[in-house]
Amino acid sequence: MTTVHPGTLGNAARGFRGRILGLQPLTIGGFPAEELERRLLELGFVEGEPVEILHQGLFGRDPIAVRVRTATIALRRQEAAAILVESTDA
């Protein structure tokens, strides 16, 4: 049986495995929410895709290395907070 814990990728710990539920971008430091959403979609952060946190920075847990399908992408946790996810770990 699959355990579901919805939340944001920005709050997830290293080793998290789940799937993307959608995007909820916010304006970050003057960077428009619409632009962040567009960039995340272009990078492959699409609803239903599998996602995993592979690595996190030593200080402040930032940035994180995220695998989406077969691509590995570095994100700041602030950007990752716009990605809604659910855990698929049992």
- CATH number, domain at 50? 2.30.30.90
Position 64 in a domain: yes
Position 1 in a domain: no
Q: How many domains does the chain divide into?
A: 1
Q: How far is CA 51 from the centre of its chain?
A: 7
Position 51 in a domain: yes
Helical segments of 1-90, H only: 33-43, 77-80
* Mean pLDDT rounded to a whole number for the chain: 89
For 52, the domain range is 7-87
pLDDT attached to residue 84:
96
pLDDT attached to residue 90:
57
Residue 13 is given by DSSP the state: P
What's this model's pTM, rounded to 2 decimal places? 0.87
Mean pLDDT of 64-71: 95
Q: Are 76 and 9 in contact (CB under 8 A)?
A: no
Highest average pLDDT, of 2-11, 25-34, 54-63, comes from 54-63
Position 44 in a domain: yes
